[in-house]
Amino acid sequence: MTDNEVFSRNKVLTIDTMNPTVKKVEYAVRGPIVQRAVQIEKELREGVKKPFTEVIKANIGDAHAMGQQPITFFRQVLALCSYPELLNDNIFPEDAKNRARHILQACGGSSMGAYSASQGIDCVRQDVARYIERRDGGVPCDPDNVYLTTGASDGIVTMLKLLVCGEGASRTGVMISIPQYPLYSAALAELGAVQVNYYLNEEKCWSMDLSELERSLAEARKHCNPKAICIINPGNPTGQVQSRQCIEDVIRFAAKERLFLMADEVYQDNVYAEGCQFHSFKKVLFELGPQYSNTVELASFHSTSKCYMGECGFRGGYMEVINMDPEVKAQLTKLVSVRLCPPVPGQALMDLVVNSPQPGEPSYTTFMKERTATLSLLAEKAKLTEEILNTVPGITCNPVQGAMYSFPNISLPKKAIKEAKALGQAPDMFYCMKMLEETGICLVPGSGFGQKDGTYHFRMTILPPTDKLKILLAKVKEFHQKFTQQYS
């Protein structure tokens, strides 16, 4: 090769030579709308004139970014763990100090700076196990089945990775709800697995229909090997809370059809609607008796990112695996060891979530006050969102029973649909992009989550502070009316 050839060479890594499965990945929650929102924010700072003065982001379940305050106790303990010298001062209550000591004694060299065991710190896994037992009314939990993770995302991707194999018609299929949280579709695309869609029933408040599960599975069996079913409960983006009956149906279905169950339960404390209650898949599984509880394979996921904590940045989480083949478990343990360990501050935080202040401890009252205040406020905002959206002609919104999102159905004029298609855009992407440009409101189009053909939605978090949420809802209303008029 001459020097000139060296100089003018093309790149080694190009869009044509790169990993093709990565190219197939889509991730709407941080997609083009959000990138444009960031740009607009920059333009505003630079003095560009807009019909609004700030961007309101309702695109992601990021509670602290929307002004929610952290739980005081958790942060005190984290400060103590970060700088243990503070244990010698009298700034923090005794229970905070005790928790910090409990965590630190379990860290190598009593430092959060040591790698932990790859599966997570022993005592944290034990605390998680006791939490699960309390939550599930005494159903036993073996800490050996608990894996701490880097957020729930990490656990979900790891489990999918274990499950996937095969080529052509024997490629692994994984059933996911539509609408879905796009981590699932992204991970399946990256792993080269087949995404098998089952549709939630919008008419019945986004519940699961057994007949739809059966349809979806029968269809899939024609071209792949369906091995697992994922459920998100409470639901993202749809905000429903599944009934006990629904969960039972899914478990029986998984048992009958030999599917590995993956239960994404990161919103387990986020239940607002009257008559709704969180039922863990594990608890229901055990209530169905040993023929189920001894056989059905289940992985369930939790996170520090949601509920009343909203501590997304710490990337804490855990998964519990039940009835997993011991050889596979050994493989799982090996696999997670390659990344060394989940972040220790996130593990510490997970420990605090499952081992929060108890009655009689000095921090209990404040903790309960903060927790209750956050959850009540979310419940209020869930109601407010549903109510206001349903006053808009052309918008129909199911009750936000849980989680942090509403996913209203929007009717779009034919002309708008045509114009969007001419631009090569999904119609609800066209709608959301226009809303962003005209009002500064950042939502995610339903097409980013999947929806029944010919229906359109957007996802909106209920997280902005109440006054901002009201402004946001008023603007959405106004925009929708204007948009409908413009394209009619």
Ligand X SMILES: Cc1ncc(COP(=O)(O)O)c(C=O)c1O
Restricted to residues 196-255, the positions that interact with ligand X (CB under 6 A) are: 232, 236
Interface with a copy of itself (CB under 8 A), residue from 59, 68, 356, 409: 68
N-term to C-term CA, the chain: 63
Can you say how many angstroms the Cα of residue 259 is from the centroid of all Cα atoms in its chain?
A: 22
Interface with ligand X (CB under 6 A), residue from 59, 68, 116, 153: 153
Stretch that binds ligand X, among 13-21, 69-77, 134-142, 151-159 (CB under 6 A): 151-159
Q: Which tokens in the block code for residue 363? A: 């921090």
59 binds ligand X (CB under 6 A): no
Strand pairing class (146-150; 316-322): antiparallel
For residue 260, the partner it binds in a copy of itself, ligand X, none, with Cβ less than 5 to 8 A by kind, is a copy of itself
Instruction: Show contacts of 167-172: CB within 8 Å, 24+ apart.
Output: 169/223, 169/224, 169/225, 170/224, 170/225, 171/224, 171/225, 172/224, 172/225, 172/226, 172/227, 172/228
399 binds ligand X (CB under 6 A): no
345 binds ligand X (CB under 6 A): no
Element spanning 196, H or E: strand 194-199
Q: Please count the helices (runs of H) and the strands (runs of E) in the chain.
A: 18, 14
Interface with a copy of itself (CB under 8 A), residue from 275, 338, 454, 485: 338
How big is the CA angle at 113 (ends 112 and 114), to the nearest 5 degrees? 95
Interface with a copy of itself (CB under 8 A), residue from 342, 357, 402, 408: 342
**Does the bond joining 237 to the residue before it have cis omega, within 30 degrees of 0?**
yes
Per DSSP, 288 falls in state T
Per DSSP, 65 falls in state G
78 binds a copy of itself (CB under 8 A): yes
Q: Which tokens in the block code for residue 286? A: 């055990």
Element spanning 405, H or E: strand 405-406
427 binds ligand X (CB under 6 A): no
Interface with ligand X (CB under 6 A), residue from 152, 246, 350, 382: 152
**Angle between the N-to-C axes of helices 427-439 and 414-422, in degrees from 0 to 180, rounded to the nearest 10:** 90
Question: Hey, which residues between 251 and 280 contact ligand X (CB under 6 A)?
Answer: 264, 266
| Whole-angstrom distance, CA of residue 105 vs CA of residue 460 | 43
Nearer to a copy of itself, 80 or 224 (CB): 80
Backbone angles phi, psi at 193, to 5 degrees: -95, 170
Nearer to ligand X, 236 or 374 (CB): 236
Stretch that binds a copy of itself, among 21-29, 241-249, 358-366, 372-380 (CB under 8 A): 21-29
23 binds a copy of itself (CB under 8 A): yes
For residue 236, the partner it binds in ligand X, a copy of itself, none, with Cβ less than 5 to 8 A by kind, is ligand X
Residues 61-100 as x/- pattern, contact with ligand X by CB under 6 A: x---------------------------------------
471 binds a copy of itself (CB under 8 A): no
Question: Hey, which residues between 358 and 397 contact a copy of itself (CB under 8 A)?
Answer: none
| Whole-angstrom distance, CA of residue 233 vs CA of residue 14 | 40
- Which are the contacts of 81, defined by CB distance < 8 A and separation ≥ 6? 100, 103, 104, 112, 345, 348
Q: How far is the CB of 153 from a copy of itself (least distance, A)?
A: 5
161 binds a copy of itself (CB under 8 A): yes
Question: Hey, which residues between 298 and 317 contact ligand X (CB under 6 A)?
Answer: 303, 305, 312, 317
Strand partners, 175: 196, 229
Q: List residues near ligand X by CB under 6 A.
A: 61, 151-153, 181, 183, 232, 236, 264, 266, 303, 305, 312, 317, 340
